[in-house]
Amino acid sequence: MTLLDVENLWVKFPSRQGVFDAVRGVSFTLGRERLGIVGESGSGKSMTGRAILRLIRPPGIVTADQISLEGDDLMLKSERQMRDVRGQRISMVMQDPKFSLNPVMTIGQQIIEAYRLHNKARKSEAYAKSLEMLEAVSIRDPERVMRAYPHEMSGGMGQRIMIAMMLIPNPEILIADEPTSALDVSVQRQVLSIIDKLVTDRGMGLIFISHDLNLVADFCDRVLIMYSGRIVEVCDADKLHDAQHPYTRGLLNSLPRLDAPCDKLQVLSRDPAWSEAPSVSARL
Amino acid sequence: MVRSPKCECAPVSMLNVDNLSVWFGNGRDRVDAVRNASFNVNRGASFGLVGESGSGKSTILRAVMGLTPNWSGAISVDTKPVDKTRQKSFYKVVQMVFQDPYASLHPRHSVDQVLGETLYLHGFRDIDARVVKLLDDVGLGGKFRFRYPHQLSGGQRQRVAIARALAPKPSILLLDEPTSALDVSVQAEILNLLTDLRTEHGLTYIMVSHDLSVVGHMCEQLAVMKDGEIVEIMEVETLRKAQASHPYSQELLAASI
C-alpha cells in the first residue's frame, strides 16, 4: 500500500551565480516500510525531507508533479491546510534535540501542547496520554521528566522526548532526519530500536535520512542513495553491500573496518557524469 | 597496519601519564572528570582513547595540553615531567587538533594569517616559505592560502587545522575526534593524510574517538574509558578478534559492529 507518492521533486534556490538546484527530479514511493535516504552532506537528502512537509521557505522554490499523501496532493494545499498535515499526518524528528526543544517550556508542557493541538482533549487526559507516551520511549520516571526543562536532559533522553512528541498525534508517516547522529554509539542503538518498535506497532511509514551507510543497511527495508540532488541508486537494504553504482561502492570502501585492516583507505574519486545522469526513480 | 619507521630501536616513552585525576568545581559541585588514569605511549606509536561522551577522554587530552586548571598526578613528555604551567617550549613538542573544524578556525582570519601567526609566535622568521610548505604537506596547495574559513569545505578546514598543529614541528599530535564532523568519504581522506604525515614526520598520535573502527584503523593500542576511569588498555589485535575482557568494552564492541 502506498502512503506517499513523490514524483519529479525539484528544490531550487536562486543565487547570484544563477539558480542552484538542491534536489533534482527525485521520485519515490513510500509504503508501510522503512525507507532510508543516504548520501554525503549537500546531497539533498534533508532538503527532500523538508520539501515533503513544504517547509522550504522563499526564496527557495519547490516544484513537483505530485507529492501525494494517500491520494491527497500536498502541493495543492494552502499553508493553513498544511498545518493540519504537519504533526498530525506526517511528522519529523530533527538531528539535534538541543535545537528542536523549546528551552523555556517544560517537557510536559511541550508534549501536552503537541497532543492538544491535534486532539480535542482535556488537560488531565492529555497529561495521562503524555505520560504513557514517555513510557513508550523507555523513559524511566516520566513524572519527573514532565516537570523538567530540556537543559536538564541528556542528548539521548532529549531525542527520545522528541520522538514521543512527534508520535503522540499518531501520524501516518515519520520523517527522521539524522535522528541519532548527535548521540553516542551506545545510545544510538537504543533510540533506533524505540523508533523501530513504534513504527512497526503503529503500521507507520518511516523515511530515515542518514549519512551512515552501515546503520541504514541494518535498519531499513529499502535504501535510496543520493548524490548532488539526484537518486543514483535504489536497492534493498540487505543488499546494500552488493551495490553496483561506483558512488555507493566508493562510500562503502572508504569506511575503515575492524575485520579487514589495511594501510590506506580507499578515497572516493568523483565522476562528473554521476551528477549529470538522470535520477533513478524509486517508485514502485 | 602502518608501523612507525623508527620502531626497530628500543621503545622510548614519548608521553607518560601516571595517576592523572582531573576535576572541575569545588566542594559540593565538584565533578571528577578523570580518575587515576595511567598510560604510556612510545615514540612513533599511535594510541587511541575510546568511550561514550562524558567519559573523560577529551579531558585527558586537555589536561595534557594544560587546558584544565585542576589536575593531579604526573605527566611526562619525552621522559621529562611537565610543570603545572606549560613553558613555550612544551608547545613546540605537543600540539592538538580539535573536533569541530567549523569552530576551531577564526572566521575573520585567512589561512595565511592563521598559519603565519602560529609560525611567528613560535619564533620562525622564514614564514612565507613555511606557509607554502605546510599547505603542501596537508595537500592543499597555494591557491588556498588567501582564503577565509567560510570559503573552505569541512575537510579543507580540518586540513588547515592540521597544518596549524604541524607548524611548530611537534613530535606529538593530540587528535580530538578529528573526523567525527566529516562525511565518510572525507574522513577517509583525512585519515590517509594523518597516516602519511605520521610516517613522514615520525609523529606520535594520541587519538580520541567514539568510533572503534576509526581507532582500529589508526592505532596500535587503545584505552577504553567509562565514567572517568580507564577500564581496559588493549592492543588493536585483541579488539579485532573481539576479545575484550571488560564487560563495558564488549558492550561497546557489540554496538559498533
- Residues B208, B57 contacting (CB under 8 angstroms): yes
Residue A248, domain member (yes or no):
yes
In Å, how far is A209's CA from the nearest CA of chain B? 14
Enumerate residues 145 to 184 of chain A having a beta carbon within 8 A of any beta carbon in chain B. Answer: 155, 184
In Å, how far is A64's CA from the nearest CA of chain B? 29
pLDDT on residue B8? 52
- Residues A158, A136 contacting (CB under 8 angstroms): no
Judging contacts by C-beta atoms under 8 Å, the chain A residues touching residue B217 are: 256-257, 261-262, 265
* Least confidently predicted of A96-105, A124-133, A185-194, A206-215: A185-194
In Å, how far is B71's CA from the nearest CA of chain A? 26
In Å, how far is B21's CA from the nearest CA of chain A? 24
pLDDT on residue B205? 94
Q: Is A184's CB within 8 Å of B53's CB?
A: yes
- Percentage of chain A lying above the pLDDT 70 cut: 100
DSSP for B115-138, written as a single string? HHHHHHHTT-S-HHHHHHHHHHHT
Question: With 90 as the cut, is the pLDDT of residue A154 above it?
Answer: no
Q: Is A41 on the interface with B (CB under 8 A)?
A: yes
- Residues A132, A171 contacting (CB under 8 angstroms): no
Question: With 90 as the cut, is the pLDDT of residue A198 above it?
Answer: no
Q: What is the dihedral of CA B72, B74, B78, B84, to 10 degrees?
A: 40
- Determine how many CB atoms are found less than 10 A away from the CB of residue A184: 21
Residue A74, domain member (yes or no):
yes
Q: Is B217's CB within 8 Å of A261's CB?
A: yes
- The tens digit of pLDDT for each residue in A13-49 reads 998 888 888 999 999 999 889 999 998 888 888 899 9
How many structural domains compose chain A?
1
Distance between CA B187 and CA B185 in Å, rounded? 5
Q: Which long-range contacts (CB under 8 A, 24 or more apart) does A189-196 make?
A: A189/B255, A190/A138, A190/A156, A191/A156, A191/A159, A191/A160, A191/A163, A192/A219, A194/A136, A194/A137, A194/A138, A194/A160, A194/A163, A195/A163, A196/A34
Low-confidence ranges of chain B (pLDDT < 50): 1, 4, 6-7
Structural domain range at position A229: 4-86+221-276
Q: Is A245 on the interface with B (CB under 8 A)?
A: no
pLDDT on residue A65? 92
Residue A186, domain member (yes or no):
no
User: What's the CATH number where A57 sits?
Assistant: 3.40.50.300
pLDDT on residue B83? 84
The closest CB to that of A186, out of B52, B213, B257, belongs to B52
pLDDT on residue B208? 92
ipTM above 0.85, yes or no: no
Judging contacts by C-beta atoms under 8 Å, the chain B residues touching residue A258 are: 212-213, 216, 239-240, 256-257
Q: Predicted confidence band at A270 (pLDDT cuts at 50, 70, 90)?
A: confident
Question: With 90 as the cut, is the pLDDT of residue A189 above it?
Answer: no
Best of A258, A259, A264 to substitute, by most chain B Cβ atoms within 10 angstroms, is A258
- The tens digit of pLDDT for each residue in B183-242 reads 888 889 899 999 999 999 999 999 998 888 889 999 999 999 988 899 999 998 888 888
Closest alpha carbon to B78 in B48, B43, B122, B47: B43
Average pLDDT, stretch A68-89?
89
CA A260 to chain centre: 31
Residue A187, domain member (yes or no):
no
Helices (H), A18-63: 45-52
The closest CB to that of A185, out of B1, B216, B256, belongs to B256
Cis peptide bond upstream of A169, omega within 30: no
Residue A124, domain member (yes or no):
no
pLDDT on residue B30? 84
Q: Which domains does chain B have, with CATH numbers?
A: 13-256 (3.40.50.300)
CB pairs under 8 A between A and B: 76
Q: Is B195's CB within 8 Å of A261's CB?
A: no
Distance between CA A161 and CA A153 in Å, rounded? 9
Residue A271, domain member (yes or no):
yes
pLDDT on residue B153? 84
pLDDT on residue A96? 79
Question: With 70 as the cut, is the pLDDT of residue A82 above it?
Answer: yes
Q: Is A263's CB within 8 Å of B2's CB?
A: yes
Average pLDDT, chain A: 87
Q: Predicted confidence band at A282 (pLDDT cuts at 50, 70, 90)?
A: confident
Question: With 90 as the cut, is the pLDDT of residue A141 above it?
Answer: no
- Residues B104, B95 contacting (CB under 8 angstroms): no
The closest CB to that of A264, out of B185, B192, B214, belongs to B192
Judging contacts by C-beta atoms under 8 Å, the chain B residues touching residue A188 are: 255
Distance between CA B189 and CA A115 in Å, rounded? 46
- Residues B210, B132 contacting (CB under 8 angstroms): no
Residue A16, domain member (yes or no):
yes
Whole-angstrom CA distances from A162 to A22, A130, A224, B248 are 27, 12, 25, 28
- Percentage of chain A lying above the pLDDT 90 cut: 29
Residue A252, domain member (yes or no):
yes
pLDDT on residue B36? 93
- Residues A227, B183 contacting (CB under 8 angstroms): no
Best of B52, B185, B196, B213 to substitute, by most chain A Cβ atoms within 10 angstroms, is B185
Question: With 90 as the cut, is the pLDDT of residue A237 above it?
Answer: no
